[in-house]
Amino acid sequence: MKNEWPLWEVFIRGQHGMSHRHVGSLHAPDAEMAIKNGRDVYTRRNEGLSIWVVESNHIAASSPSDKGPLYEPSESKVYRHPTFFDIPDEVGAM
Amino acid sequence: MYAQMVQSTGKGVKSSEDMTPEERAFQARIDAGEKIEPKDWMPPAYRKNLIRQIGQHAHSEIVGQLPEGNWITRAPTLERKAILLAKVQDEAGHGLYLYCAAETLGVSRDDLTEMLLDGRMKYSSIFNYPTLNWSDIGAVGWLVDGAAIINQVPLQRTSFGPYARAMVRVCKEESFHARQGFDAIRKMADGTPAQKRMAQDSLNRLWFPALMMFGPPDKDSPHSAQSMAWKIKMNTNDELRQKFVDQTVPQIEFLGLDLPDSGIQWNEEHGHYDYTDPDWSEFFDVLKGNGPCNVDRLAARNKAWDDGKWVRDGLMAHAKKKAAAKVAAE
Amino acid sequence: MSTPLKRDEAFLQFLLRMGDNTLILGHRVSEWCGHAPVLEEDIALANTALDLIGQTQFWLGLAGEVQGEGKSADDIAFLRDVWDFRNLLLVEVPNGDFGHTLMRQFLFDAWHSIQLGRLLKSSDARVAAIAEKTAKEVAYHLERSADTVVGLGDGSEESRRRMQEALDYLWPYVGEMFQSDDVDAAMVAAGIAPDPASLRDEYDALISRVLAGATLTIPDSRFGHKGGRTGKMHTEHLGHLLTQMQWLQRAYPGANW
Ligand SMILES: [Fe+2]
Ligand SMILES: [Fe+2]
Ligand SMILES: [Fe+2]
């Protein structure tokens, strides 16, 4: 029996007063879990943000147009940033 | 690369005259650098190829969690453990973004997953090699993610919008992956004699498998032309492999490690490093399922999927109950 | 009864109890990476483990400071043997199935969030600062584990059965969280930390509400295993966990990683 979790579209508003932006999709059994999953997958827990989720099949679309993904690495996990690692200039691009 | 042997369904590239008007308009949009979006018309073969390619790519990210995950519980410091866990978690995220991109083409994630689990779909050969010492964690980030970046940076310009957007997000994270890997192996190369020995061992073992990531030599890749015309493949296998060698050899020298291939030599005339080809018979063996870890990798993914069924079903059953209760209350 | 504990010795024990809980549980949760039932849960569990590892660095870092022997958080994590660990037995039991893992997480998160709430008012500014930094993370852990316990408890027949089994198995490890000894007495006297027994009512209210929502039955018995937080008697599982976790540091002493 197919029992796949539905697909949700995730929209996030960051701290800077911008509108919610589409950041991607995910699967979840219901809206509450979709919000939690959105937080875990697409924000890595930044404070002060707001998440909207919409079940994908409820979205009516003209032609898909999608701004670039919002990318907000967590503030406390500095090692997620490439610049955390001190790579000597001689080593070249990485 | 992560989609090494995607069998193109096209029968070679059609000439403009042989195309239907729709196909011609489609190709013109791609040639003009426009993005194709899910609801746009596309040739069935384009859709089919993309599903295979994005699906393989997604599977590679997920199976790719396993060799590195193998060391999470043995990481030598709290910081290394956190870095490695965050890195492997990112790979799960990459798989997730890519499955979502594939889903816009009309295939479900569960269907793709089942095709991976029963062997109908492939994943990158590299993840069928084991991680045997801690330095492998450095080498995987440095070499494997390094090779992946070389392949994935151009894919940010691929013609299919959702795929290109997923690759933008992925590429941002991959730079962290390669750098943490280099940082880890550098500590080993600069460390005690035992650590240095581990570093050399990882490089020697993973070098040729890393070269194989770019796929067979161009002369043996008959399906590339259509994919390149459709801009779902941006460079040839050999171009990217050469780029990887040229970028990596000076890094090996910086680390003070011995070159893993006695054939590596600067070629003044070509302005590139010469290198020895990997053993392609080994590559095809691995693709056929005979790599050192194929069986274990698929078994681990199958176990996670089977053991997780009651969880997925249980949470879905709860969601349905809640929804029904809500309707009843209204 | 031996002589009363010196304040610093008791403080060190308290910090080890906090840090060893997060260290061992973080390790257990990290074992799921790549093996969870669904990608979203895989990512969420990794976030929890990452938080716990970060919290370990705070607690064991401070423990090293208080101890005053120049030891780092890593020295403390990787170079002690079983009898020096001060974590609750609850966090060292094996993961079991996903239901056991989430039930263990919920039973721990509920205690952890109440404990951190009290530690916000600690007389020691460093403890209060760590509580401040970590309480929000743990509030989210609790929200997530509680929701999942409810979802699986009140889910399918099979998921309900498995969650009840998990609760029955883990319940005897709950009581240890509320046992008080002379270390706790010294912490209460110094205003550093609350008496563990004083958290029980709030804890019972919280878990009763959630477990009722999950349609699960809390076992009658109040029997509790003990010995983790005092170090007197761990389970056999901890030694195996440490052989993995400490392997590189033990096999190649003095190396930089
Ligand atoms: Fe990746
Ligand atoms: Fe990767
Ligand atoms: Fe990566």
3-state secondary structure B138-198: HHHHHHHHHHHHHHHHHHCCCCEHHHHHHHHHHHHHHHHHHHHHHHHHHHHHCCCHHHHHH
Q: Which residue has the tokens 């423990």?
A: C63
C152 touches chain B (CB under 8 A): yes
Are C5 and C186 a contacting pair, CB within 8 Å?
A: yes
Amino acid C71: pLDDT: 97
> Which residues of A are less than 8 Å from C47 in CB distance?
40, 44-45
Which residue, among B192, B200, B319, B304, has the nearest Cα to B255 in the 3D structure?
B200
Question: What is the pLDDT, as a whole number, of residue A63?
Answer: 52
In this prediction, residue B6 carries a pLDDT of 61
Taking the CA of residue C116 and the nearest CA in chain B, the distance in Å comes to: 22
**Mean local confidence (pLDDT), B276-303:** 96
The mean pLDDT value of chain A amounts to: 76
Spatial separation of the C-alpha atoms in residues A70 and B79, rounded to whole Å: 27
Residue A77 pLDDT more than 90?
Answer: no
- B259 falls in which pLDDT band (50, 70, 90)? very high
Confidence class of residue C85 from pLDDT cuts 50, 70 and 90? Answer: very high
At residue A67, the pLDDT reads 34
Range scoring the smallest mean pLDDT among B165-169, B251-255, C112-116: B165-169
Confidence at B329, pLDDT banded by 50, 70, 90:
confident
Distance, CA of B326 to CA of C19 (rounded, Å): 43
Contact list in B for residue C252 (CB cut-off 8 A) is 192, 194-195
Chain C interface test: which of A10, A25, A32, A33 (most C C-beta within 10 Å): A33
Q: How far apart are CA C257 and CA C249, in angstroms?
A: 9
C162 CB neighbours in chain B (<8 A) are: 310, 314
In whole angstroms, give the CA distance from residue B142 to residue B203. Answer: 10
pLDDT value of position A48: 52
* In contact, B141 and B81? CB cutoff 8 Å: no
The answer to whether residues B198 and B134 touch, using CB atoms and an 8 Å cutoff, is yes
Cα(B206)–Cα(B143) distance, integer angstroms: 8
Q: Where residue B237 falls among pLDDT bands split at 50, 70, 90?
A: very high
Model's pTM, two decimal places? 0.93
Residues in CB range of C213: below 8 A, 6 or more apart: C150, C153, C154
The CA distance from A88 to B185, in Å, is 14
Alpha-carbon distance values, A82 to A77, A94, B78 (Å): 11, 9, 19
Percent pLDDT > 90 in chain B is 86
Whether residue A76 is predicted with pLDDT greater than 90 in this model: the reply is: no
Per DSSP, B289 falls in state I
How far apart CA B185 and CA B201 sit, in angstroms, is 11
The pLDDT score that the predictor gives to residue A61 is 78
Q: How far is CA B265 from CA A93, B216, B256, in A?
A: 20, 21, 16
Which range is least confidently modeled, A34-43, B136-145, B309-318, C202-211?
Answer: A34-43
All residues of chain A having their beta carbon less than 8 Å from the beta carbon of residue C140 are: 39, 45
Report the distance separating Cα C183 and Cα C186, nearest Å.
5
Q: Which of B86, B247, B319 sits opposite A79 (nearest CB)?
A: B86
pLDDT bucket at A70, cuts 50 / 70 / 90:
very low
pLDDT at A64 over 60: no
* β-pair partners for B267: B272
Q: What is the pLDDT of residue A16?
A: 73
Provide the phi-psi class of A24: left if phi over 0, else alpha when psi is between -120 and 50, else beta.
left
Rounded Cα distance between C107 and C111, Å, is 7
Confidence label for A43 from pLDDT (cuts 50, 70 and 90): confident
Task: Mark yes or no for CB contact B314/C33 under 8 Å.
Answer: no
Total residues belonging to chain C = 257
What are the distances in angstroms from CA A4 to CA B107, B110, B128, B316, C38? 12, 7, 29, 8, 11
Binning pLDDT at 50, 70 and 90, where does residue B5 land? low
Q: Tell me the average pLDDT across C143-156.
A: 98
| Average pLDDT in chain B | 94
* Angle between helix C98-119 and helix C125-153 axes, rounded to 10 deg: 150
Residues in chain B: 330
Q: What is the pLDDT of residue C112?
A: 98
Element (H, E) at B265: strand B265-267
Report the C-alpha gap between B110 and B145 in whole angstroms. Answer: 26
Q: Please check the confidence at residue B315 and state whether its pLDDT lies above 80.
A: yes
Which two tokens mark C175? 């009581």
Task: Name the residue with tokens 């509400």.
Answer: C209
Token pair 């101890």 in the structure block, residue: C67
- What does each C-alpha distance from C74 to A78, A80, B99, C158 come to in angstroms? 18, 20, 38, 42
A39, containing H or E segment:
helix A31-42
Which pLDDT does position B206 carry in this prediction? 98
Question: Are the beta carbons of C31 and B95 separated by less than 8 Å?
Answer: no
Which of C151-176 are b and which e, b meaning 16 or more Cβ less than 10 Å from the residue's Cβ?
Answer: bbbbbbebbbebbbebbebbbbbbbb
* The predicted structure's pLDDT at residue B2: 73
pLDDT of residue A85: 67
Q: Please give the backbone phi and psi of residue A12, each rounded to the nearest 5 degrees, phi first.
A: -130, 135
Question: Within chain C, where are the H helices?
Answer: 7-30, 39-67, 73-78, 89-92, 98-119, 125-153, 157-170, 182-190, 200-213, 237-245, 247-251
| Range C220-232 average pLDDT | 94
Cα–Cα distance, B49 to B44 (Å, whole number) = 9
3-state secondary structure C33-66: CCCCCCHHHHHHHHHHHHHHHHHHHHHHHHHHHH
CA–CA min distance C63, chain B (Å) = 15
Neighbouring-strand partners of residue A26: A8
Pairing of strands B265-267, B272-274: antiparallel
Q: How confident is the model at residue B47 (pLDDT cuts 50, 70, 90)?
A: very high
pLDDT of residue A40: 93
Q: What is the pLDDT of residues B69-88, one digit of tens each?
A: 999 999 999 999 999 999 99
Q: Which residues of A36-66 are buried (b: 16+ CB within 10 A; e: fewer)?
A: bbbbbbbbbbbeebebbbeebeeeeeeeeee
Angle CA A52–B98–B145, to nearest 5? 120
Q: Which tokens sit at B9?
A: 């369904």
ipTM: 0.96
**CA C134, C137, C140, C142 torsion-angle sign:** negative
Residue B285 pLDDT greater than 70, yes or no: yes
Backbone angles phi, psi at B36, to 5 degrees: -90, 130
Closest Cα of chain A to C48: distance in Å? 9
Task: Name which of B183, B311, B327 to mutate to probe chain A: the one with the most chain A Cβ atoms within 10 A of its Cβ.
Answer: B183
Q: What are phi and psi of B266, to 5 degrees?
A: -70, 130
The whole-number pLDDT of residue C74 equals: 98
> For position B175, what pLDDT does the model report?
87
Token couple for B83: 């870095």
Contacts of B146 in chain A (CB under 8 A): 94
Distance between Cα C103 and ligand 3 center (Å): 32
Structure-token pair, residue A27: 């699967």
pLDDT of residue A45: 53
b/e code B167-202 from CB counts within 10 Å (16+ = b): bbbbbebbbbbbbbbbbbbbbbbebeeebbebbbbb
- pLDDT of residue C247 exceeding 60, the answer is yes
Among candidate residues B64, B240, B262, the one with its CA nearest the CA of residue B152: B240
Under the banding of pLDDT at 50, 70 and 90, the label for residue B15 is confident
CA of B94 to the centre of ligand 1 (A): 5
Inspect the interface and report whether the beta carbons of B110 and A68 lie closer than 8 Å. Answer: no
Q: Considering only B148-152, B298-302, C52-56, C118-122, which range has the smallest mean pLDDT?
A: B148-152
Q: Say if residue C1's pLDDT is above 60.
A: no
